Chains A and B, each alone.
Chain A
Amino acid sequence: MIASAAAPLLRFDGVRIETSGREGSETRTLLEGLSFDVAAGEFVAVVGESGSGKTLAARSILSLLPPGVRQTAGRIELQGCDLTRLSAPAMRQVRGAQIGMVFQEPMVSLNPAMTLGRQLAEGMQLHRRLPSNEIRRQSIAMLERVRITDPFRCLKAYPHEFSGGMRQRIMLASVLLLKPKLLIADEPTTALDTLSQREVLELMVELAHDNGTAVLLITHDLGLVARYTERAIVLEKGRLMESGYTDQILANPQNPYTQRLVASLPRGSADLVPPPDSAPVVLEVRKACIEYPGRPGFWRRAVPHQVVHGVDLDVRAGEIVAIVGASGSGKSTLGRAILGLKPVAAGTIRFDGVELAAMTAVQRKQFRRAAQLVFQDPYSSLDPRRRVRDIVAATLRHVDDIDAAERRSRVQSILEEVGLPSFADRYPHQMSGGQRQRVAIARAVVSRPRLVVADEPVSALDVTIQQQILTLFQTLQAQYGFACLFITHDLAVVRQIATRVVVMSGGIVVEEGPVTAVFGEPAHKYTRELLEATPTLDVAPLPR
């Protein structure tokens, strides 16, 4: 615990949070004896993975714990005043005015049924009691500061008319309009792509500095911690693991958990060897154009909307190629088309030299077995009504040359290989996200495919789990030697896993080449922006 010289703005003192069960039923401790300080104007990170209690800690400051969860011990002081003892009306005076909060999901943290103008004005009316024209003036000024292009229109618009990044900026505006002393930012950029993430965080830092607002940044992303905060506290399973200055913690973690956390950040591995030039080309994409059907009008036919424009791509046997790009760049659509799940509007996709569109039924069956997909979201990609055994065996269902016994033993052995030997009879909801993703990988690999398309397979996972899954993936790839098209937005992951990278933006390939070459000397502007926006531990904190 590092004592702050000045009187702290916020002080946690032995805070315990428990589930409040009925009499007799067991209570679970979610946060145990948490103590830390935040000084005025300071940037502090609360780091932890899911289940670490970091969000509960943040919410307990404003007494906004979800139903069924209670704070049972400890004090939370704001400038020496114990917030936990405040009456409900007194607490409402603190909320918004003194402490602001920004939430993780920009899609659900603004009221969809209210104009943004009214939502911005709400807090001002309540806490500042300003005349409406003054509120309007300040709102517009603030929206301009967060770089909303047409603030006048924005006041009349509804949240759904804006993208996630813009919403998060508007959210920031609405909170900082009240000039709170403390801003709690709960994973504010997790749901955004790399470029938007950077934009939002830079704005937050800028505005907080200007107003002298302290920031409590709740995150799991060590890169963000390194880049934006001065001090950090690390939580695991409701307990404080380590706290101190950010650069010290990251450079020289003392606690074993922190060490593990830092170690699990993806790093470029030197031992990746590209396949020999003689390796046969498994996948050959030529001038592929892919479109989505538009909405049919009443009198006119649907006008298709093209998302991929003439992409060329080759993947050799045993090669791992990464496709990077922001959301909407067409990378996932391309992946779907390569597996024949979406037709191409123009151009050709060949697998082992045979064009997908021209395959015979037999060839198609073989293709289905030889090309597999791993999805991003392990919650949606596994049928919740099937057992793990059936999910994995599904891939083998249409394979004729193996019998039921063989099928069972294959499933069992692949489950052992992915580290889930005893999970065959479980349902997806009985497993964690990482375990589900293992099942998804097992499902893809069980048929001994020659090509696996992995669509953001680790982006929904915690850092340590992410690392385990990547390692598993690499192990399996080494063992079975399948070619892989790895779709991701995370450049660090690319460095760790791929030998060649394809950068996509706006439906076209902007740059392509060996990872070291492309990342070392990016030729295209977009690649450069992407690289710049990606926080890494190497970047020093911003100067204060």
Chain B
Amino acid sequence: MAGGGNLARALKTLAVCGVLMLGFASARAPAAVDETTVARAPLLRARLNSDIVSTNPGTRRDENTDGVLLHIVEGLVASREDGSVGPMLAGRWSVSADGRVYTFALRPEVVFHNGAPLTSAEVIWSLRRYLKPETRWRCLEVFGPNGIARIVSMSAPDPHTVVITLDRAAPMFLTTLARADCGGTGILHPASVGSDGSWIAPIGTGPFRLGEWRHNEFVQLNRFAHYASLPGPRDGNTGGKHALVDQLRFLIIPDSSAARAALVRGSLDIIDNLAPSELLGIRGRTDLQFQSVPILDCYSLLIQTRDPLLQDVRVRTAIALTIDAVGLAKAITRGTASANNSPIPVASPFHHSVEAQLRSVNLPKARQLLQASGYDGRAIQLVTSRRDPQMFDVAVVIQAMAAQAGINLQIDTVDWPAHLSRYTVGNYQLMVQSFSARLDPTLSFGTFIGDKRQEPRKVWDTLRSRELLDQTLQTADPAARQAVFDTLTRDFLEEVPAVVLYNSSRLSVVRSEVVGHQNWMSAQPRLWGVSLR
């Protein structure tokens, strides 16, 4: 179980280095608009590029689902703008000296959407529910045998105190609870599920309550009048969370051009995840405000090192030498992304001079390598899909670039499920893949490094890389880790198990009437504290 072990260790180490991520994000958000100065607008319309998959936090989910549900439910703690953990339903907490016992003090003023006050009973009920396998909580594994820790017991000494005991120290415990993909471990009122445990609808404590979900049309949230906000400005998923509109409607508009046109027409107020191809269409418009925030995702070209042809590092290097990452990123993202050949994202504090090195295009060298390898111009399949237009564009550009050195790439466009299926079993020669944000370089490298026999989706299967990855888990010292990451980066560039291309930015464009909208490094919509002029 090398793979599973890796993950577990990685997560453990994250706890150690969690503090390193301070000061990570570029800018703190401006203070939220004071609720009293702005008349509340009746309806704010934002765009989702695909429908949410459920209203059940942290179970059936994707990024859109997480983002929408975090307006409705809240956990004990939540992520701050800078990635650290801050208070949410728990106003404060303490950790025992051995790091195993967490005591949370709940904020007494909080009420559920159904009017019931928040007490420790609901918190314990919610956590127990998440820990049941049949709930299919996304983060159940983290508390399983291979995870960071097991929860030994939960108790409620009084209605506003919750005590959670772990089987070992787990500095990553709170970070995990705050994770968006875990649904922020949102605390729910038991009335959210039926008597048989089946899901009904989320009754949470957030600034909005679920209004109407019309599949593939919209998700409407209504302002929760009795929301008890934390004091202070908006800060990530915590801080002051004021619902400044009566109704919040997420319109599901899959087509990016249609969304842009709708925004220009005024049928939509906010696009917080604009496709770069739409940038030209909004350029020079004074009635729109544009914003770009770098995020921690990563677009890369995966190479199947088990392929008879591609197991030859000369061929892999030759392919890499044809790719002009700067030009590619610029063309595909209209200059909004940062070209990067290292698995460590540009926005990461571990991205330094070694990581910042970009491979320069060298066609004569590429041809020379190909000749040496005996490549005879035979077709190499490049798998991509159209779900994300950028993945498709990357393939087209790479194909054209590789052709300059006489490399014959054939693009195989498959749909998203087929793409995932082929990724999971490693059934490809070359594949364009995008990875969602990994918070730590260990995780970033972890998406590439692993034992192909255990996990066929891993691309970089060398003993040395696996050992180096282990080393990054065994030390908390940033300098020591940086050294290992630098070595890994050099090896990665040398051995070319994949070619990292760029890290993108989250682009938002809002109508000028919209006040207070600010994306942050978490790839999720956030519409509290936003109002209309």
User: Is chain B in direct contact with chain A in the complex (CB below 8 A)?
Assistant: no
Q: Which residues of A contact B (CB under 8 A)?
A: none
Q: Which residues of B contact A (CB under 8 A)?
A: none
